Every structure is written in C-alpha cells, then in structure tokens.
A and B are shown apart, each in its own frame.
Chain A
Amino acid sequence: MLSFILKRIGLLIPTFIGITIVAFGFVRVLPGDPVLLMAGERGLTDERYNMLLKQFGYDRPIWQQYFDYLGGILSGDFGHSLVTKKPVLTEFFALFPATVELALCAIIFAIAVGIPAGIVAATRRGSFLDQTIMGTALVGYSMPIFWWGLLLIIVFSGWLGWTPVSGRISLLYFFEPVTGFMLIDSLLSGQKGAFISAASHLILPSIVLATIPLAVIARQTRSAMLEVLGEDYVRTAKAKGLSPRRVVGVHALRNAMIPVITVIGLMVGTLLAGAILTETIFSWPGIGKWMVDSITRRDYPVVQSGLLLIAAVVMIVNLLVDMTYGLINPRIRHD
C-alpha cells in the first residue's frame, strides 16, 4: 500500500511542475507589459518602473525568474492582490470554505438522490419509471446550469418568495467566522434564526451545483447495477432464496458502487467548474466568483495564483480519491 501511495505521489510531481509553469507563463503571455500588469499602476515614472522591474525580478533571465517564482510558492508567497493589496493566499483561505461548504452540500444531495434513482431505474429496467428517471437525468446532464439557477431564482425567490436571492446569510446576522462553514458558525454563534437563514441561502445554489453530478451519478449507478445484476453471484444469491431487497442492497450494490465512487471522485473538477457559474449567479463569496471577478478586474496576481491553487486542490483531492479507491478495491492496488 505504501509503495502504491508513493508511486501516485511521484506521478503528481511532474504535473505539479507543469502547473507552476502554466501559472508562471500566464503573466508572460498576456498582451502588454508584465510590470504594468502586475503592478496595476498607471502613469509610472521611469524611476518607479525600474524599481518595480527590479522588485519583480523581471530584469533577470527567464529561468531564474521561474525558480524565484517556484521558491516563492514553496515558501508560501503567492503574491498580493492588486485590488485589495492582501496576500493572495490569505484571500484564498478566507473564501475557500464557502466553496467547500457549497460543493459538499451539492455532492451530498447528488449522492442522496442519484444513487437511489439509479438503483430504482436499474431494478425496473424498461419500465415507465426507468424511462422517466433516465429522461430526467439526461435533461439534467444537458442543463446549462447558469440558466437553471436563474430559473430557480425566478420561481422560488421571485414568485414564491421562499428562498433568498443571493449571498450566504441574511445581513441581520453577524458573527466572526470560526470554521468558515456558515452552517456550523451560525450554530456556534447561538443567534436565533441564523442557522435557518444560512441553510435557506444554501438550498438553491446546492441544487444548481448538484444538477450535473446528480445526473451523472444516476446514469452511472444504473449502468453499474445492470451489469452487476447479470452476474452469477447475484443469480446465486437469488437462488438461495434471499429477499430481493437483500440481493439488490447487499450483493449487487456493494459491487456496483466501485465505478460509482470513481465517478464521484472525478467530480471535483466538475464541481469547481460549476462553482464558477453557480457562485456568480448567487453572489456566493467563494473562490469561483473570486476568480471570475479577478479576471474581469484584471487582478492578474490573483488569477495567476488562484489558477495554481485550484489546480493543486484538484490534484490533491484526486490523489485522495485514488488512495481510497485502492483501499476499497484491492485489485487496483496490486497492479
């Protein structure tokens, strides 16, 4: 197992170096002078320009600049935002929990609905119910989620007035973040109604972000179940006289879950891409909205480091998924 983990980590190193090259190269290939772009100042005097040139190290050979950059990253220096002047890493960690909270709620919702839907569809293959579930899943899979979010706002916030339009919590409540997770912090604050407010702000964004993962999970569960239900051991279990519930729930489901878990694990990238749109629509203060705002504001140090940090998060989560997968399915480990 240890060698398996080490091998996986070893494979990540070249990818990580590649990602740093992409992030480093990003500022250099932008049209315009990198000093002006990264300083974000206008009408510089020659003196100031030369000072900044030295400060950023752009007067040095390109490979040396890269190693300076890499050294900075490894010591935790990801640059400063042009707009807020705060370190990028500080901003990232302040906003990251909001995205994690949203993504976790979305994936829990997607699993809680998607897996049972897939099982029902598989066990009643060809029935009207199966066709309805799979039809709905295909619609969900084809959904432009930014539009879906707007529709839900029109119906649930506009017409019915059930849910708030945007943000993480009502402005009536204020407390210092402890964990960064609004659901937990609102409970810890002890303020009446704060938790309900936080939860009601989470509902629509979670549904929107969960839409595509839910569809993928339902489809994957159905096809994995169908494959497993045709296996000999399932027939044996049936022949033994076990109840259908036990055959499906224990014998079939456990084996069908392996591909489903892989698909869920690979969804981190999808969730983060979806978070860009979902957070923008619902003004959710997470890293997706942060990246979009930074791109439109030309806050290039944030874009550069944000890109790197997000890719690193995706890589680390994929590694963790790989390792859990190795734990669940011993066949992979010994390859």
Chain B
Amino acid sequence: MTEQTASTGAETSAREAKAQTRRRMLAEFWFYFSENKGAVIGLWVFLALVVIALLAPVIAPHEPNQQYRDALLVPPVWQEGGQWAYILGTDAVGRDMLSRLIYGAQFSLFIGVIVVSLAMAGGVSVGLISGYMRGAVDTAIMRVMDIVLAFPSLLLALVLVAILGPGLLNAMIAIAIVLQPHFVRLTRSSVFNEINREYVISARVAGASPFYLMTRTLLPNCLGPVIVQATLSFSNAILDAAALGFLGMGAQPPTPEWGTMLADAREFILRAWWVVTFPGLAILVTVLAINLIGDGLRDALDPKLKRS
C-alpha cells in the first residue's frame, strides 16, 4: 500500500516536473516571440480573422450570395451614392461586399489549414523515411522531389487542377502536392543533423524500433524549422489558392473566395474600384499577418539567432 502511494507520488512529481519544463519552454518561446513587435501584431490580426471566420453567420450583415437587384455596383458608404446598408458597396449583381469578404475569411483559413496539414503530414513522413533510411530509398525520394521542384509551382498546380478538374478541393490537393517537397527536404536535412547525436544512439541501443525512433525520438527535435516552414506554406497556400481562383481554376463562382471574387471583378476595374480593391486587400492583410508571425517564429525557434 505504502509502496503504491510512493510510486504514484513519484509519478505525479515526475509529471509535474515535465509540466514545469513545458511551461518554462513556453515562457521562453513567448519571450523571444514577443520581442518581435510585428509578430505580435500579426498574431492579433490573425486571431481577429479566425474570430471573424468563425462568427461569419452572426456578424455578416447579409447572406453572401443574396443578390439585391436594386443595388448593383453601389459604392462604399463614404463615397457619393453609398448606402449604410452596404458599407463596402455591392458587386455587379448586387451582393454585399462586406458579407462576402467576411465569409471569404472562412475559405482562406480553411484552405491554409487543410493544405498545410496535407503538405506537412506527407512531407514530414517522407522526409523522416528518407533521412532515416538513407541509401537508395533516399536517392529515389529526392529525385522525385527534384522533379516536382523543377516545375514553377503555380504552373504545376494549374496542370494538376486541369487533370483533377477545377474546384476548391482539387486546388487544395494540387497546392499541397506542390508545397510538400519543401517539407521533405527540410525534415530530411534535420534528420541528417540529429541522427548521430548521442540521445538517438542511446535510444537505438535501448532497443527502440525504427518507427519509435522516427516518430518519438527524431521528430520532436526536427520540428523547429518545420513549424517555420508551415507558416510560410500557410501564406503560400492562401496566395496560390487565390491565384488559382483568379485564373478560374480554383473555387468556382458564386463561392465568396477572395481570388474568385477578384476574377469576377476584373471587367469592372475601371468603373468600380471597390470590387477589385477589397478582396485583394483582404488577401494581403491575411498573408502579411501570417508572414509576420512566421518571422517571429523564426526568431523564437532559431537557436543561432537567439544567442546573437
């Protein structure tokens, strides 16, 4: 009985110590991250976008696809002819711009999350295998990645969408495939750096299986650069998906995706500046916020920069 309590007591204290280390690491991370003012601003903007996306049905003044036939190309409220009902104006078929932009945030964030998850899951697994196995497997994988990287990314994504058929889902798959080699290369080179370290060798000597070594021993120590790459890929995914939408190969009208909205707006550029300006501004602000976060993460996670 007493033995049992003693062992649970030891377990709790071990767990507590672990939790404490984690808290200390988090505090240290936040210290370096918050040094970078831009990164903190980026984080706030990003959180605001997440809230807007989640609450879109509540805060959007109109349905995104509702067409008001008596209010075509109404300018924003501060311009002559503007109406308070449509704060940022309406588009060529009388849909409220603000509501469409708010719903568009859902698409962009969703695209970013799905594409990065796909690209990261695929890329990190392949990179771990490539770095761990070395030899012929590694060579074969790296040659395949070289082939993917030989094509300009947007062109390859376009061609993949031509094969799969235009649409948001296919565009996301195509972008994930195009972004994935970067994760493979990064993970592989991190594994190369780590694999001969003592902790890996001791885990191996202790009898860890290759799977355990790859996922539990190596992976956590390779994550720093992967996380930075993930934020970069997040903004790239949003930009590329918007570009595909703009070229008519991504989300299809009337989806209120920002790139697709821009494609619809093209013919009105010299008549109604607002239908062109706002969707692009939304893309720019989102991507800028994520890139600011990415810069901050790099500062916080890169040990070389920390010491200088």
Contacts and interface: CB of A to CB of B under 8 A. Distances in A.
A binds B: yes
Interface of A: 14-15, 18-19, 22, 26, 29-31, 135, 138-139, 141-144, 146-148, 150-151, 153-154, 157-158, 269-270, 272-273, 276-277, 280, 291-292, 295-296, 303, 307, 310-311, 314-315
Contacts of A157: 270
A31 B163 CA distance: 7
B299 to A, nearest CB: 12
Nearest to A14: B143
A223 to B, nearest CB: 10
Contacts of A19: 147, 150-151
A26 B262 contact: no
Interface in B131-188: 143-144, 146-147, 149-155, 158-159, 162-163, 165
B107 to A, nearest CB: 14
Given A15-B143, A310-B155, A147 B276 contact: yes
Q: Taking chain A's interface residues, is the majority helix, strand, or loop, or is none over half, making it mixed?
A: helix
B143 A18 contact: yes
B280 interface: yes
Interface in B247-280: 247-249, 259, 262, 266, 269-270, 273, 276-277, 279-280
8 closest A-B pairs (Cβ-Cβ)? A147-B280, A18-B147, A273-B152, A273-B154, A142-B287, A142-B288, A272-B152, A144-B283
Given A15-B143, A138-B292, A276-B158, A144 B152 contact: no
B119 interface: no
Contacts of B249: 295
Given A15-B146, A18-B147, 4 more contacts: A26-B159, A142-B239, A142-B290, A307-B155
Nearest to A318: B150
A303 B147 contact: no
Interface residues of B, number: 44
B154 A144 contact: no
Nearest to B270: A158
Given A15-B146, A142-B284, A146-B262, A277 B246 contact: yes
B152 A15 contact: no
Contact of B276 (A31, A139, A151, A277): A151
Contacts of A311: 150-151
Contact of B239 (A22, A144, A269): A144
Contacts of B273: 154
Nearest to A21: B147
A139 B288 contact: yes
Nearest to B280: A147
Given A146-B246, A150-B280, A295-B249, A31 B150 contact: no
B158 A142 contact: no
Contacts of B38: 135, 138
A240 B292 CA distance: 40
A272 B152 CA distance: 6
Nearest to B281: A147
A189 B270 CA distance: 33
